[in-house]
Amino acid sequence: MDAIIVNHVSKSYGRVKALDDVSFAVNKGEVFGLIGPDGAGKTSMFRILCSLLQPDTGTASIEGFDVVKQMRDVRCRVGYMPGKFSLYQDLTIEENLQFFATLFGTTVDEGYDSIKAIYSQIERFKDRKAGALSGGMKQKLALSCALVHSPNVLILDEPTTGVDPVSRKELWEMLLMLKERSITIVASTPYLDEVRCCERVAFLDHGKVRGIDTPEVILDRFKDIFNPPGIDKSEPSNVKSGKTENVIEVNHLVKAFGTFHAVDDISFSVKRGEIFGFLGANGAGKTTAMHMLTGLNQPTSGTGTVVGYDIRTQHEEIKKHIGYMSQKFSLYEDLTVAENIRLFAGIYDMNDEEIRHKTDELLERLQFAEHKNDLVGSLPLGWKQKLAFSVSIFHNPGVVFLDEPTGGVDPATRRQFWELIYDAAARGITVFVTTHYMDEAEYCDRISIMVDGKISALGTPDELKQRFNQPDMNHVFTYLARQATRSSD
């Protein structure tokens, strides 16, 4: 019997048709991928399957139960991990798990066998609040909460976005272990290595299913979307721009929280116009280091300058001369595209004439002119990310800090985003970027990799691959991250 059957499902939001006559079936115990570009309709489909949203037309069933007419039966049989972090940040690990167990009329003790293999990895931290967990630990907790009521079907909406490559691999090992228990798994993901873990995939584009087949067949058939040509990186960006002076200098920087050294004596420099990759597993210390460089946190010891300003004493000046794009989307969703641009330009004291001129220029370059009065919340994720980056450099800062800017974005859109990065670097803007996509690491001029609060490697991608005798940056990263001795919490 099929675990999931979808027949001619359509769903619209006003004039936008999110799903357009979608049909597919998933076998019991199958690992099935629902993939496609941003705004394709994947999340709407998942919410319909979980009975959180009703289709306009068509039907869907889980193990023979209609998602509209037999909603209660469906919810007992489905575990769901939504794309955005689904847990309560101010509750502890244990409290979150108890809450979700109660929602499904069970207890943690009753469901423990269903989650033991996963929950046992974080159980010793059960009194820690979810908001204080690393990405990998949040992922394990969210999966435990989705499984605590022993569902037969598990639906995962981009479960590894914002998680480092080692933790991503661990999650998929857990999912394949769940398959051995005959749990049906349906997942969306922008990572091609995860797509290849599925037995079959459906490619969804503009609300329509364009094809259903094995990952190899679909990725080859739609390679223009999933495998766009790489970016030509013939020479370092700062060489192309003719800039060679340092705009970031860090010497013996330390940040301690009690006896724990989140950042433990790091030193490096970054040149003007350089694209500098700042990598590390979740919990390695990257975000803490970036917070010190951007004036959001003060170092315990050591020195550093950013665009000539001291990070210990001139952090307010630093904030005026840098751009910043955080992991979490940094624009206001209830303002229009044009209103967001004007707001942030005003914060940086740009005059009205300059704002008008540069806004028209930016909208034309992004091909957003027809959407300048659209609410940002209505835009696809990839559009939001490109807009957020463009706004972060609107005032032409000396350095822009990008904290995992392309998380959850499809490969074609990520390539467009990196074209924007290369354009900024060519104009002399230094790009300081963290990413969990190792193909993006290949685009950087130089890379540092943090392990246990220290910089374990620093050099060009080619230098690092040669030094550690690895075929690509994914293998370099995994090799170094596996040497960590402190836990990723």
pLDDT in tens, the chain (489 residues): 799 999 999 999 988 899 999 999 999 999 999 999 877 899 999 999 999 999 999 999 999 999 999 999 999 999 999 877 678 989 999 999 999 999 889 999 998 888 988 898 889 999 999 988 877 788 889 999 999 999 999 999 998 887 888 888 888 998 988 998 999 999 999 889 999 999 999 999 999 999 999 999 999 999 888 888 777 766 665 555 556 789 999 999 999 999 999 999 999 999 999 999 999 987 888 989 999 999 889 999 999 999 999 999 998 899 889 999 986 667 899 999 999 999 999 888 888 889 989 999 999 888 888 898 999 988 877 788 889 999 999 999 999 999 888 877 788 888 888 999 999 999 999 999 999 889 899 999 999 999 999 999 999 999 999 999 999 999 999 999 888 876 544
CB-based contacts of 401: which residues, under 8 Å, 6+ apart?
290, 293, 294, 322, 323, 324, 325, 432, 433
With 0.85 as the threshold, say if the pTM is over it.
no
Strand partners, 9: 22
What single letter denotes the amino acid at residue 348? Y
77 closest CA partner among 91, 95, 61 = 61
Give the whole-angstrom CA distance, residue 6 versus residue 60: 4
pLDDT at residue number 489: 42
pLDDT at residue number 243: 60
pLDDT at residue number 240: 57
pLDDT at residue number 73: 94
Q: Name the 3-class secondary structure at 265.
A: strand
pLDDT at residue number 488: 47
CA distances, 29 to each of 49, 272, 418 (Å): 16, 53, 38
pLDDT at residue number 413: 83
CB-based contacts of 285: which residues, under 8 Å, 6+ apart?
255, 262, 263, 264, 266, 450, 452, 453, 454
Give the whole-angstrom CA distance, residue 213 versus residue 216: 8
- For the chain, give the longest Cα–Cα distance: 67
> 272: left (phi > 0), else alpha (psi -120 to 50), else beta?
beta
pLDDT at residue number 234: 61
